[in-house]
Structure 1
Amino acid sequence: MTRFAYPNSALIWGSLALFTLLCLPPALAQQAPAADTTRHQTLSEVTVTGAATHFAAPVDGTTITAGRRNELITPRDVNANLVQNNMRQVMARIPGLMVWENDGSGQQINVATRGLSPNRSWEFNTRQNGYDMSADAFGYPEAYYNPPMEAVERIQLLRGGAGLQFGPQFGGLLNYELKRGARDKKIEFETSNTAGSNGLFNSYNAVGGTVGKVNYYAYYRHRQGDGWRPSNQFRVDDVHGNVHVALTERLTLNAELTYLTNRLQQPGGLTDAQFAQDSRQSTRERNWLSTPWLIPALTLDYKASERTRVNLKTFGLVASRNSVGFVAGLPAPDSVNRRTQQLAARQVDRDDYRNLGAELRLTQDVDLLGRTHTLATGLRAYRATTLRRQRGTGTTGSDYDLSLTGNGLFTNEFDFTTTNAAAFAELLLHLSPRLSVTPGLRYDYLRNTGRGYLGRTANGGENRVPDQQSQRNVLLYGLGAEFIVSPTTNLYANYSRAFRPVLFGDLVPPATADVIDPNLKDARGYTAEVGYRGNYKNWLRFDVGYFFLNYEDRIGTIRRPVPGGTVGQTQQFRTNLGRTQTHGLEAYAELDLIHSLTGNFNLPHLDLFAALSLLDARYGSLPVTTLTGTGTGTQIVESNLDGKVVENAPRQTLRTGLTFAHKGLSMTGQFSHVGKVYADANNTEEPTANAQTGAISAYQVADFSATWKLGQKGRYRLSGGINNVFDARYFTRRAGGYPGPGILPADGRTWFAGLGLTL
């Protein structure tokens, strides 16, 4: 049976009481809507002027959001370290947000919700302006590229049934919408330059405007620094341009191009003893990562009538993931070969990605039984290829150098492909002026292939593995509902099927003796949620809900006897093992204290916000095995993870803060508490010698940020802040491999200060 118990913490339960007192009574006290209420009177996208976080309209562009939890975040309205993409600040109002904080460069964003893994946001369907930006949305959904927050107009987070419209991932949709040029100027120039701790320098420069029927926007961002730890320097350059051309009054063409180039030094992981001694030290001096990323996109937007909208996106990806470094596990030292007293050769790994896709979406208003309903349909075609080359023998140097030495060959090499065709349909059906339901269906055809070799023979030949292929048809379905309690509040609920495709790493064993189950299948399950959200008199916003996530057929490895083998002969067998179940409370509230007491909106703002998550994530029946003895005396000892806590799933997450704003000045103080988590499914408490498993302690961290806008329309901007004000020493991740292995410390106290100008 699933357990749902939490520590008796005054901090957590006091916050929950605050939500109850602030949110429910005033909202329920409002009048019910008039009988002629239509869907346009439900929660609108802009409910509170200047809000940093708000809720989407029931139909947002070609996306139906009614009946499911959704958040829209406007980075420019958040006091945060946008320069380094500090997501614990930018997305502080998202309940249950788990952030891996181990990349001070800000290039790698690692976020998740609802007890899922934050690894490069791969449990989300990550997009930019509505199109894919990850390495492979199905076979390798890691987001090595993330746009600079200074360029982001809004962040769209859609959970629950998002998979019906956007494809798999239990986490939902995470979409970064970039800025466009000014509509009322032919040309507008923006520049922002920031300096900070550890040699941080960031320069963001953009130009945009509207000339006749053409709207344009382009930016260049350069960021560099030495990092909080030694051997942690980084250099990142981003270029983006988009042009919107109104071909006719109804037809708009948009062309976009995004290019990223970076070079990140990886300081490696620490053992627990090293972390306790000095969390700022480095164990690796010669490890580097680079991920050049090119994303072209072309969009046609056709408004056939006031009731019909068609959107066609075509997009591609030309990108790489390149790393070179000394990757031996801890506590091995970095560089010296003990026998020769020479620097050890480094390992070179390289991936190349080539993707092409298209999505066609149609939104149509339909009159039926005296009411207006909305039908959203779509088609998708997608093909992705990955060339993966691993374990090449690199140089003994310390700089970024991908050259191979020795025989100049990689030990492992694979070609992977993904082919996807999909169709979906959702109908926002208004059963009454106050009640709507949204049934939906999605069909996906998926085909993954993998071929290549794993290791080499003594004479240098390729040790090829059997070609891998996975082909399947997936049908997802869901149902959402929304009930208008008042003109500005509603109840929502939904149930939606989801699946997690077999990844490339699941198709190929990590060692030649391992065996892949030929019947390996996608992980499947469902999410369900119910909640109450809205705003009250422009000084209170809230969203309180409960969710349940059932994750079945999780893929893992067990040791079993070799079929037909000798006594004691065993093998690692990768197959579908079992399920996890997660349920919890998610609550967010933001109260304008001064305006709620005085009703005078000419007075300064003093906003108190809190985002709270209480969750319980447990394994169901999931067998695991260990070996005892040696040779013919080897025995397999079976156990079960039933009842164990899921990795990276904190029972409590609380982020709260206070913002003062008056005229051009805005200041925010923020406090974050994240509960204890485990790095492995066995819930190992005591850390291992290599620091890859063991508990990850709860931590608290405080931040302060401020912005001061001067001149006409805030033409001049001063910004700055202190991250980790009290210099807390903590870590959020134990890495089993790159960029570790071992403990990856979060940054200590740092500061930043910047000057911006808009002309």
Structure 2
Amino acid sequence: MKSFSLSPLALALAAAAAAPVIAQESETQLETISVIGDAETIAELPGSAHLIDADQLARFEFVDINRMVRSVPGVYITEEDGYGLRPNIGIRGASGGRSGKISLMEDGVLIAPAPYSAPEAYYSPTAGRLEGIEVLKGPGTLKYGPFTVGGAVNMLSTPIPQAAEGMVQLEAGQFGENRLHSYYGASTENTGWLLETHQQRADGFRDIDRADSADIAKEDYLLKGRINSAADATYRQQLDIKLQYSEEESGMSYLGLTDADFDRDPNRRYGISAEDEMQNRHSTVQLNHSIQLSDSFTLNTQAYYNKFKRDWFKASEGDLIAAANGGDTFAQAVLDGEADYDFGIKHNNRQYEARGLQVSGDWQLATGGVSHELTVGLRSHWDEVDRYQPTENYQQIDGQLSFVDKSLPNASNNRVGEANATSFFIYDDIQLSEQLTLTATLRYEDVELSEQRYDDPERTIKGAKAENQVDEWLPGLGLVYDVSETWSLLAGVHRGFAPPGAGSQDGFGPELSTNYEWGARFNGGNLFGEVIAFFSDYENAVQNCSVAVPCDNGADSGTFQLGEAEIKGLEASFGTEWALTNGWNMPLRASYTYTDAETTEDSDDGDKLAGDNFAYLPENVFALSASLDSGAAWRVNLTAAYQDEMCVNTECNRGGTDRFDYTESLWVWDAAAHYDFSQDLSAYLKVDNLFDEQVIVNRGPDGARANRPRTATLGMKFVF
């Protein structure tokens, strides 16, 4: 694994773009890449939106994005590795598998390795270095796309500071966990820069039979630069460059446990998976340019290039788990290392590239006494996924693994998928009166998809080829009516869309839905809340098939049509702050999501029946956080999150199910205490999973897996 030391050469490789939230920059800079902007803007949006800012993130010092977003209503997470390295985030019923049905962005740019041709996000930005997270649902998602069925998540990187400033953060904790996060940057009137690194290591909490633990080493580097014109220039301009590089080595596996073994030790891992390891590298180049051509018109341009290479060397022995759960003694003996066994470990080796150019213009104008904030945008995007996945054959003899030989890949593991996409949107925020705001949106997506398979390792013999093309116009309307200074009503409707993926055949349609929402907001200073009902009517629900989330027909690649479906639910959030004696105060926040989803019509082949549920979709999700702030040196924070059990397939509503068809419900509590030694130096103690509750949170793809056990960590932060 990687050492914890930093090399000057590695730092020089780093990466990143314009500061995400303009309020944190000097007044001469132009905002280009924030989705929401700031907390005050949320009240003006026609749809549900949430901003997790730097102050909220600092309360618990999470490094797992699952823990960061679980308090946002309408969001569901499915844990996998306990560290959030490859999150599974779903929004309003849209599938959470590999976050493949949401527009996942960093600083306003699509960040999934190949968002059109292979949307499953096997890469996610390092959560521990984020400055904030924006979650947007409703008609406003049409500005970003291509995934508008659920919503958009925009992760915000550290902004360039207004003056010379730096920070060093160190952590050490249980299971060999340690972390370093550091940055330094400076600004002048016309320039700015930032250099940042985040390094994370852990021995892991899963113990592998007859082997070491499943350790983790991830390092991330970021470099930003900025040039901007003087404040009194005729045309104010700003040019930003962002360079980012990260790499990871982690002993992660898809192999879980039988239920009986889970009950005995949820943190065990079978020795047959001892060779499993993920290795990946990610790099980004992003250029942002803004020019203010007049007091009412600004032109923004972003060019980006993302590259991601991964090799997830892992055994897939789900059949052994299923057989052992069914009482097969030989399968259990293999898992225990007591029976000899021949098996293969596949190199899930893939290279991804994505590049694009997006241009948008912001125009403020008035027509007939009605004011408009008009945004028009165009994006040209290309991405590719190249799979070349040989298998290494092993024997387990007397509990030890021995390499035998290598099998070259067949056509399904030797293929290249590609997507060319052109999208266009018009977004008009219309102030019809002092109380009423109407938002009209229109998006167009034109996607050409192809996949070429090869029948020989040298790729001289072309095999099957799939080609597809989809194009859709996606309209949306939203309104906000201010009943009073504290109450407002909102409603919206928009067209949901998700492209079908590179392996889809000609005529295979995209995922399409009509999405409705309506609700109310209240903001009375120290008391605020929001209740929103949502309903999504799917003409065609589509599942992306992967090894991580196989489709109902057993496929682990391509796409699978689920047919017509309905998703309905309710989101509620609430917050207040109580002033106590002697300067102490207690902020409280709570959120709740109820979701009901089902297929509404039998499929032609009979595989899907009306009434079938959605897989890995909890009915109830709840989160509560409370803080006790002395107003001086001490702060104590406590958060609790609940998620219902989930069906792991789409047939639980048919009856005849057993416990192997479900995950388990979970309450998990996290706590953190901070103490400020001075304005610049602070220390904290955080405990994740305070009461050490572990249950089956995931059964995919190969057996039962637990959430992270209780983990205590001590950290210090120095700002200079």
TM-score (norm 1): 0.79
| Contact 2:476-2:495 within 8 A present in 1 as well | yes
**Structure 1 residue identity aligned to 2:200:** R
Shift of 1:365: 0.4
Distance 2:604 2:455 in 1: 26
Question: Structure 1 residues 56 and 616 mapped into 2: Cα distance closer, same or farther (>3 Å)?
Answer: farther
Shift of 1:681: 0.4
The residue aligned with 1:211 is 188
The residue aligned with 2:575 is 590
The residue aligned with 1:301 is 290
Match of 1:612 among 553, 572, 592: 592
| Contact 1:480-1:493 within 8 A present in 2 as well | yes
The residue aligned with 2:241 is 255
Shift of 1:396: 7.3
| Contact 1:80-1:86 within 8 A present in 2 as well | no
74-83 vs 263-272, which moves further: 74-83
| Contact 1:318-1:354 within 8 A present in 2 as well | yes
The residue aligned with 1:201 is 178
Question: Structure 1 residues 664 and 244 mapped into 2: Cα distance closer, same or farther (>3 Å)?
Answer: farther
Instruction: Describe the SS at the equivalent of 2:652.
Output: coil
Match of 2:300 among 290, 303, 311: 311
Shift of 1:294: 0.6
The residue aligned with 2:537 is 550
Match of 1:533 among 508, 513, 521: 521
Match of 2:635 among 656, 666, 688: 666
Shift of 1:370: 2.0
The residue aligned with 2:490 is 492
TM-score (norm 2): 0.83
Distance 1:59 1:671 in 2: 26
The residue aligned with 1:726 is 691
| Contact 2:93-2:150 within 8 A present in 1 as well | no
Shift of 1:336: 9.2
Shift of 1:165: 0.7
Question: Structure 1 residues 65 and 167 mapped into 2: Cα distance closer, same or farther (>3 Å)?
Answer: farther
The residue aligned with 2:682 is 717
Structure 1, residues 705-757: CA drift from partner, whole Å, max 9, x if none? 12223313xx1121221111111121222112xxxx12221112111110110
The residue aligned with 1:286 is 275
Shift of 1:394: 6.0
The residue aligned with 2:66 is 87
**Structure 1 residue identity aligned to 2:238:** T
Question: Structure 1 residues 127 and 65 mapped into 2: Cα distance closer, same or farther (>3 Å)?
Answer: farther
Structure 2 alignment gaps of length 5 or more? 1-21, 25-34, 208-212, 322-330, 546-556
Instruction: Describe the SS at the equivalent of 2:483.
Output: strand
Shift of 1:391: 4.0
**Structure 2 residue identity aligned to 1:541:** F
Question: Structure 1 residues 217 and 686 mapped into 2: Cα distance closer, same or farther (>3 Å)?
Answer: farther
| Contact 2:239-2:290 within 8 A present in 1 as well | yes
Match of 2:256 among 269, 281, 284: 269
Distance 2:249 2:379 in 1: 34
Distance 1:308 1:557 in 2: 40
| Contact 2:202-2:217 within 8 A present in 1 as well | yes
Instruction: Describe the SS at the equivalent of 2:704.
Output: strand
Instruction: Describe the SS at the equivalent of 2:71.
Output: coil
| Contact 1:83-1:202 within 8 A present in 2 as well | no
| Contact 1:102-1:747 within 8 A present in 2 as well | no
| Contact 2:44-2:480 within 8 A present in 1 as well | no
| Contact 2:167-2:719 within 8 A present in 1 as well | yes
The residue aligned with 1:388 is 387
| Contact 2:670-2:687 within 8 A present in 1 as well | yes
Shift of 1:471: 1.2
113-122 vs 167-176, which moves further: 113-122
Structure 1, residues 188-217: CA drift from partner, whole Å, max 9, x if none? 221000011100010111111113411111
In the TM superposition, what are the counterparts of 1:647-666 in structure 2 within 5 Å? 647-662=615-630, 663-666=632-635
| Contact 1:214-1:243 within 8 A present in 2 as well | yes
| 1:641 partnered with 2:623 | no
**Structure 1 residue identity aligned to 2:380:** A
In the TM superposition, what are the counterparts of 1:40-189 in structure 2 within 5 Å? 66-78=45-57, 81-88=60-67, 90-169=68-147, 170-183=149-162, 185=163, 187-189=164-166
The residue aligned with 2:648 is 679
| Contact 1:229-1:280 within 8 A present in 2 as well | yes
Distance 1:524 1:86 in 2: 28
| Contact 1:647-1:679 within 8 A present in 2 as well | yes
Structure 1, residues 17-74: CA drift from partner, whole Å, max 9, x if none? xxxxxxxxxxxxxxxxxxxxxxxxxxx999xxxxxxx9856996xx997211111111
Distance 2:511 2:194 in 1: 41
Distance 2:102 2:114 in 1: 12
Distance 1:579 1:468 in 2: 25
Structure 1 alignment gaps of length 5 or more? 1-43, 47-53, 508-515, 559-571, 626-637
Distance 1:447 1:64 in 2: 38
Structure 1, residues 290-347: CA drift from partner, whole Å, max 9, x if none? 2211111000011223321211000011111211122222335798999995875522
| 1:621 partnered with 2:601 | yes
| Contact 1:686-1:695 within 8 A present in 2 as well | no
Q: Percent identity?
A: 20
Structure 1, residues 544-593: CA drift from partner, whole Å, max 9, x if none? 111111223224699xxxxxxxxxxxxx9976441221111100001112
Distance 2:633 2:616 in 1: 40
Question: Structure 1 residues 488 and 360 mapped into 2: Cα distance closer, same or farther (>3 Å)?
Answer: farther
Instruction: Describe the SS at the equivalent of 1:147.
Output: coil
Question: Structure 1 residues 77 and 343 mapped into 2: Cα distance closer, same or farther (>3 Å)?
Answer: same
**Structure 1 residue identity aligned to 2:414:** E
| Contact 1:79-1:668 within 8 A present in 2 as well | no
**Structure 1 residue identity aligned to 2:519:** G
Shift of 1:453: 3.4
Distance 1:118 1:608 in 2: 28
Question: Structure 1 residues 83 and 547 mapped into 2: Cα distance closer, same or farther (>3 Å)?
Answer: closer
Instruction: Describe the SS at the equivalent of 1:162.
Output: helix
Distance 2:193 2:486 in 1: 35
In the TM superposition, what are the counterparts of 1:352-751 in structure 2 within 5 Å? 352-393=351-392, 405-406=405-406, 412-453=413-454, 465-504=463-502, 506-507=503-504, 518-537=506-525, 539-555=526-542, 576-594=561-579, 603-623=583-603, 638=606, 640-662=608-630, 663-683=632-652, 694-712=661-679, 715-736=680-701, 741-751=702-712
464-473 vs 607-616, which moves further: 464-473
Instruction: Describe the SS at the equivalent of 1:623.
Output: coil
| Contact 1:590-1:608 within 8 A present in 2 as well | yes
Distance 2:476 2:496 in 1: 9
| Contact 1:79-1:667 within 8 A present in 2 as well | no
| Contact 1:424-1:443 within 8 A present in 2 as well | yes
Distance 1:544 1:342 in 2: 55
**Structure 2 residue identity aligned to 1:732:** V
| Contact 1:108-1:144 within 8 A present in 2 as well | yes
Distance 2:494 2:240 in 1: 33
**Structure 1 residue identity aligned to 2:374:** L
